[in-house]
Structure 1
Amino acid sequence: MKTNASQIGMNKAGTAYILWLGCLLQLHGLHRLYNGKILTGLLWMFSFGLFGFGQVIDLLLIPNMVDEHNTKLRARQGWLPDGSLPTQPVIQRVVTVDAKPVPPQPMPNSLVVKLLKAAEARGGNLSVTQGVMETGASFAEVEATLLQMVRTGYVEITNDPKTGVVTYEFKEL
């Protein structure tokens, strides 16, 4: 019998119902623990399945619990919600020691150059507010430009250890 790879390790509603029957042995909440609902599973255990009411209501909720658990498991494993593999290949950026990406050359008066000069004057670190003060551009323009520079790999986002302010660190400066 051929097993679908998306079904390996997936929870089954039948197993959850059998664990639900643990309430007959005063083991309430086993079905919730099985489906990854740890806190409510422990609550069910110590409150006798919410005094029996929660245990009975769970008879209707078990299929949804199993589906929710399996969907989360598939997402963690990189599967699509329907249990199939993604069809598009994963693209990874490979950077070698000798090769450096070549950025588009900015215009001499562009916002990028102004931000680079402002960061250089501050030891390679710049906040959005400092960028606005140095360039006269809006907060949105400065932040968008800095985030674009982060995406290209020339800038990293950090936090100032003393103030907690988000700063952009220019590694090459």
Structure 2
Amino acid sequence: MARAKTGIAYSLWALGFVGICGLHRFYTGQIVLGLVYLFTFGLFGIGQLIDLVLVPGMVKTRNDQLRRQYLAEWGDEGLVMPVSIERNLVAAQSIPQTQNDSMQQLLRVAHANGGRLSKAQVALHTGLNPERVDALIQEALRYGYADVTNDPESGAVRYVFDL
């Protein structure tokens, strides 16, 4: 899920010093106000200055909108809940490490673990080296077998498999 970042919003806000006002409004999803700021030089500079303190709230609001949109599209499957350390993960059966067999092994591990994995879990349960794990996950993403999401608490990357 894409997220707006405060630093980028402030960088776009700073472009108002060179006469390009309102880009931070576009970035935070406020298209109409972005156009107004663009054509009025940030409401004659006053709105631009006021936005200096409003940018963090705009970014938070935009991220909340993106989160709601993501949940509307993906439902509860889009959420990744933190996994406690005590949880026992089920390892896939050991099979030969050819390219196609590696993908099958990855899919088995994902299925056995509820469709949600980190790269470390893939490496642990498949025995593959980190470079092969990266390549295998990228292949799964390219074929649409998995999507990338973040743990809402820790921000850790999780791969969600459609099984």
Question: TM-score interval w.r.t. the shorter chain?
Answer: 0.3 to 0.5
> Which has more helix, going by share of residues?
2
* TM-score, scaled to structure 2: 0.44
Structure with greater Cα Rg: 1
Q: Which has the higher contact order (CA 8 A, sep 6+)?
A: 2
* TM-score, scaled to structure 1: 0.42
